A and B are shown apart, each in its own frame.
Chain A
Amino acid sequence: MSSIWSAIDTAGSGVTVDQSWIDSISSNVANMNDAATPGTPVYQAQYLVAGEQVPANSPAGSALGTGVQVESIDLGPAQGQIVHEPNNPLANAQGDVAYPVVDLGTQMANLVQAQTSYQANAKVMADSKTAYEAILNIRA
């Protein structure tokens, strides 16, 4: 979407990506204790890959950027981390259980980053609105 209020749209794309980032962290934290029998599918942590939105019909760097977008979602290790829990009903013959590779400390640090980035984009949106209003309120 392109409009005359491009700064608001650009900041809005940042807010949208940050929201997806927070959503992925939320999913990772919610699933960090999903145990599984080794060899069966285990939850893979989701990591967003963000990239610049390249304006249509112009090579990168030749025009003002129009925002950011989610390029792809990278996944954590498929085999998970093996923990020895013989009493777990999901344990295999060796008494091992697979857990998703999700480090809570890393996720919390990412959450703080995502929240700060969200606030920064919201601030850009609010300030660009103020700027647009300033030019509209000129009384000759």
Chain B
Amino acid sequence: MIPAIPPIPSISSASALGNVVAPTPGSAINAGGAVAPVAQGSGSFQNVLGQAIDALNGTTNNATTVSLQAAAGTASVADATIATTEADLATQLASAVTSKAVSAFNSIMNMQM
């Protein structure tokens, strides 16, 4: 039996800009009913997705801040353009990572036994 996917770390925990928050340790119930720890390696789905979302949140917050500063005249237009471009790319990266991970998960789930 494949263990259940652990919960995704909360986005609200990443209010600090660029601060990657370590995900809370997840656990899953295996076929025998005993609680088994889920692998917490840096390559786990939980970590990858959590870090991507945290990075995205920090980058978009930064873009919002710099855009407001540019509108108020305290930041240069170039800085605002850079920040929004990076937010755009970070959104695409998070989207791509999520799509790939879900695609891989579905490939496993659709395997014919």
A residues apposed to B, CB below 8 Å: 3-5, 8-9, 12, 15-16, 19, 125, 129, 132-133, 136-137, 140
B89 pairs with A132, CB closer than 8 A: yes
A3 pairs with B86, CB closer than 8 A: yes
**With A136-B93, A136-B96 known to touch, is A8 a contact of B86 (CB < 8 Å)?**
yes
Q: B82 on the interface (CB 8 Å rule)?
A: yes
Could you say which residues of chain A place their CB within 8 Å of the CB of B100?
140
B residues apposed to A, CB below 8 Å: 55, 59, 76, 78-79, 81-82, 85-86, 88-90, 92-93, 96, 100, 103
A136 pairs with B92, CB closer than 8 A: yes
- Overall SS of chain A's interface: helix
Tell me, rounded to whole Å, the shortest Cβ–Cβ distance linking B88 to chain A. 8
A125 pairs with B82, CB closer than 8 A: yes
Could you say which residues of chain B place their CB within 8 Å of the CB of A19?
76, 78
Could you say which residues of chain A place their CB within 8 Å of the CB of B89?
5, 8, 129, 132-133, 136
Roughly how many angstroms separate A16 CA and B103 CA in the complex, as a whole number? 41
Tell me, rounded to whole Å, the shortest Cβ–Cβ distance linking B90 to chain A. 8
Could you say which residues of chain A place their CB within 8 Å of the CB of B86?
3, 5, 8
**With A3-B86, A125-B85, A129-B85 known to touch, is A12 a contact of B78 (CB < 8 Å)?**
yes
Chain B residue, CB-CB nearest to A5? B86
Roughly how many angstroms separate A108 CA and B82 CA in the complex, as a whole number? 28
B96 pairs with A15, CB closer than 8 A: no
**With A5-B89, A133-B89, A136-B89 known to touch, is A12 a contact of B96 (CB < 8 Å)?**
no
A16 pairs with B76, CB closer than 8 A: yes
Chain A residue, CB-CB nearest to B91? A136
Roughly how many angstroms separate A99 CA and B63 CA in the complex, as a whole number? 45
Could you say which residues of chain B place their CB within 8 Å of the CB of A132?
89, 92
Could you say which residues of chain A place their CB within 8 Å of the CB of B96?
136-137
Could you say which residues of chain A place their CB within 8 Å of the CB of B92?
132-133, 136-137
Roughly how many angstroms separate A3 CA and B82 CA in the complex, as a whole number? 12
Instruction: Name the one of B59, B82, B93 contacting A12, with C-beta atoms under 8 angstroms.
Output: B82
Chain A residue, CB-CB nearest to B103? A140
